[in-house]
Amino acid sequence: MFSNWNIVKHTSISAVISLCIGLISYFIISPTNSSTSIGVISGDGPSAIYASIGFDTVIQISIVAFILAMICYKLIKKR
């Protein structure tokens, strides 16, 4: 399978893998609930911490997955 592996095949498979990971992360994160508040609201102590998790996080996960899959090209070519 890897004997005639080239960059075009690897890029297309990497895009499919990153798309699948993006879809899975979309269903796990569910960006319809776009913000989550964590923390305690008080006057003298710590104030509320807001962590925004939305559709941009899903896109970032997909881009990171694509980059990692593209880095693996050299590992596959060594075989």
DSSP string, 36-63: EEES---SSS---EEEE--HHHHHHHHH
In a domain, 1, yes or no: no
Where in the sequence is the domain holding 11, given as residue range(s)? 7-77
Q: What pLDDT, on the 0 to 100 scale, is given for residue 78?
A: 72
- Asked whether the predicted pLDDT for residue 37 surpasses 70, the reply is no
Rounded distance, CA 45 to CA 41, Å? 8
In a domain, 13, yes or no: yes
**pTM metric for this prediction:** 0.65
Q: In one letter, which amino acid is 50?
A: Y
Number of folded domains that form the chain: 1
Q: What are the tens digits of pLDDT across the range 5-31?
A: 788 888 999 999 999 998 898 888 775
CA distances from 57 to 17, 28, 39 (A): 17, 11, 21
15 within 8 A of 66, measured Cβ to Cβ: yes
